[in-house]
Structure 1
């Protein structure tokens, strides 16, 4: 009797963004990649196992006997506990006969067992320190290491991240390795942006694939269908992985080619450094950090390239969330906001549509962790209409008023055709409501701000939504890359 074994690294984002030090974020990201890719492959091979599938922080293995299964689990667990303190992971397994057991049902059973194990999370307590030790500035845990150069104290967790960064430093140097490398300029609104991108309806696509092969099973073809399903699933995963990697590479390529233009536009870019820091690029799960001024355009380039690719015969689309914050704002809270914005972008997509949408928020002051409340209170006019069109549709060939390309035209018109003083006046009046903005536009003859693409929005509003607010709010945080 064989065994299916699954491992999962849990709370990855919390582990990565616990610190506001970019080198620790990079090191943490590399650790997660290492413990879900290279390390398990190496230990699995050592114990005569094979990888069934991999992706999204989960890896499923097959072992032909219980001893190999247990020895793999012990060696892998011991390595992580010794080398990477505070990295949370789970491993569990079930019996599996590849000739008699339908692997689709067995994988479902394996995930159910994993979720029960995660939900249980046995409570335990331990003494953190005795009150006489130096504390790590990132984790506030007892320090176990003092860096000779920086004189900083590190806990076991922080030092493992820094060490991973230092061991791989050469491959990071072409990209931002410090906040200042992102291009933040002095005397500017020094905002950074964390962008989170997640593929649309991947769960439904996988279910469709599962159902297709579930129907093929008979008493005599179990192993054959098992092998076909695993191949089809891995092919699908590889198509998704390749598409997102190519989209990311395209975005980097464009930003790199625009370096002189970006410097002229105000970004303080170091020579030979691309002002982007990749944090996560795993399957359809992507996260990176940029200067806020190029965040929207970077996402637009990413999605345009992504939608050229297909997986399982369907075009790949995604939701995008961008959180723009002051550089010292806590990274983990920023990431949580970006993730919430991504979910909000995806939630508005009609069931019949296969399109990409983007949402963003600029944190000015303290964020109260309630995006819905902010949109319902602060982003409402006095006559109870919506100031914002967000989320915007990035996909082309749509007729929505909230298209990203129309939003870009709004910014261009306002920046080039409306005096700054009038822009401030428009912002003040639009918050009062549609009639007030309509009157202000008419008195000051600001119809050029609307442009031909907003011909149906003479008052500055359409269907109870203001078509100009998003452009005015973000214009100081926007540099066009096209």
Structure 2
């Protein structure tokens, strides 16, 4: 921080980098869940620790931004520090003196290091003026600059004469008497934060049947156009007196809408659980991150699409003035031997492809509205994280791509015109064919059709003719391919999507049968 700011009021912005990768670095449930608990509120926890250990008058330092007076820093010169708001994973804090901000920054950097061992704290500081819009734009630009030039430093790895952790490469430093196992410092800190009331085999208990169907799914959901919405809401707000309560309200509204939808989604998963696994006493899902519009959870594979579909269908209409919300999701299916970190990267990449389709001009609604889309991928290779290249290699035939995803999910406030515009991508088509192949076609014939589709047009047409001769006329009746010479219809791509996950299909309980 520049020395000329020491005796001036400043606005600071804090961002802990690489949280998701930090959480999913390990394959051990105890470390993943422990890490998610560890980082859940690490910045505000660090600020509270600083106040407890260093503040002479703790009443002059305010961190309860959801409940305290938003104007107290502006009106009371005795207040040294106030958290303005926390949103988008970042904390914005006002300081009476830049020198105190420097002290906090040093403490927080050490605090994050000691609590996590490998996470990095990015800090941007600008002089506070009377114009909030100017300061907000300047500090975000400063943070972008800092991140662009900030080295991604990591702790020193193990030297040649040290035992090293097989995942992180960090030296083994701790011995756990209970398991008779050595751990690196990072793994030890994560395990130390694992909730005492949880089962260490929580992920093992989620699978449908160990050894036979042990597939899990990591699901990542991210809100659409949140930054644009905030800019639109705040574009005419210049004074701090008006900006602080408004930004707090926006941040809390977003958290409430996404958080409440997540809670309702888990209740829906509880309803579906008996269809997935009978006589189960534990939940088949676990929250990893629920922070604002950023949602990540792990669940039994059969719950993934129903859960994400439910979330997207019910998101929105709960905010102030019935503001419409939308989001995109990504699902990565993986077996227990597949690295969690790579599975999460696949889920994130799927979310990105969903957003790409959602944001295309021809798929947008009125005023550029972006709808709900989701994508999924079965992880059979760690290279699947490079999703575009992986699909070019494994999902192509002489007809081009053989998959139709990402899919559109209609939200609670979507207009009919918008639904019709994206009807060709509708999740209803995937559910229709998933049900057909699972419930009305023998497994061996369904698997053979799945294997034929990548072979190209000629083989697919022969297979369709064969199945039609055996009474499976739905393939041509529904898709309009009575003249099976061209296969111009995209229906067979949806077939492949449905066939690929036919072992993961579970009939949903609260959606009407459209057949």
Structure 1 segment 187-202 matched on structure 2, within 5 A: 187-202=211-226
Distance 1:12 1:139, change over 3 A: same
Matching residue of 1:292: 301
Instruction: Tell me the alpha carbon deviations over residues 301-330 of structure 1, each in whole angstroms, 9 at most, x when there is no partner.
Output: 222222443467531111111111221211
Please say if residues 137 and 153 of structure 1, whose CA atoms lie closer than 8 Å, have aligned partners that are also in contact.
no
Change (3 A) 1:429 1:133: closer
CA displacement 1:225-267 (0-9 Å, x = unmatched): 3222222222122111111111211121122233333224xxx
Counterpart in 2 of 1:4? 11
The aligned counterpart of 2:134 is: 105
In structure 1, what is the equivalent of residue 292 of structure 2? 283
1:24 Cα offset (Å) = 0.8
Unaligned runs of 5+ in 1: 218-224
Give the number of equivalent residue pairs.
457
* Contact kept in structure 2, 1:36 and 1:57, CA below 8 Å: no
Aligned to 2:27: 20
Match of 1:153 among 160, 182, 205: 182
1:64 Cα deviation after fit: 1.3
CA distance in 2, matches of 1:11, 1:136: 20
* Aligned with residue 431 of structure 1, among 442, 454, 460: 454
1:62 matched to 2:94: yes
Residue 439 of structure 1 deviates from its aligned partner by 4.1
Change (3 A) 1:389 1:123: closer
Instruction: Output the CA distance in 2 between the equivalents of 1:43 and 1:258.
Output: 45
TM-score between the two structures when normalised by the length of structure 1? 0.86
- Match in the other structure for 1:209: 233
8 A Cα contact 2:259 2:290, kept in partner? yes
Q: Is 1:444 aligned with 2:467?
A: yes
> Cα distance, 1:42 vs. partner?
5.6
Matches within 5 A, 1:315-394: 315-349=324-358, 350-351=360-361, 352-353=364-365, 354-382=370-398, 384-394=399-409
Q: Is the alpha carbon distance of 1:441 and 1:331 closer, same or farther for their aligned partners in structure 2, counting shifts above 3 Å?
A: same
> Alpha-carbon deviations, 1:432-452, whole Å to 9, x = none?
334543443334325454497
Matches within 5 A, 1:55-94: 55-94=87-126
CA shift at 1:299, angstroms? 0.9
Moved more, 391-400 or 42-51: 42-51
- Bigger CA drift: 34-43 or 350-359? 34-43
**Which of residues 480, 483, 488 is equivalent to 1:456?**
480
**How far, CA to CA, are the matches of 1:123 and 1:387 in structure 2?**
39
C-alpha distance in structure 2 between counterparts of 1:185 and 1:66, whole Å: 58
My pick for the range that moved more, 304-313 or 241-250, is 304-313
When normalised by structure 2's length, the TM-score is 0.81
In structure 2, C-alpha distance between the alignment counterparts of 1:374 and 1:185, rounded to whole Å: 29
The CA deviation at 1:10 is 0.4
Give unpaired runs (5+ residues) of structure 2.
1-7, 62-79, 510-515
Equivalent in 170, 175, 182 of residue 206 of structure 2: 182
Counterpart in the other structure of 1:221:
none
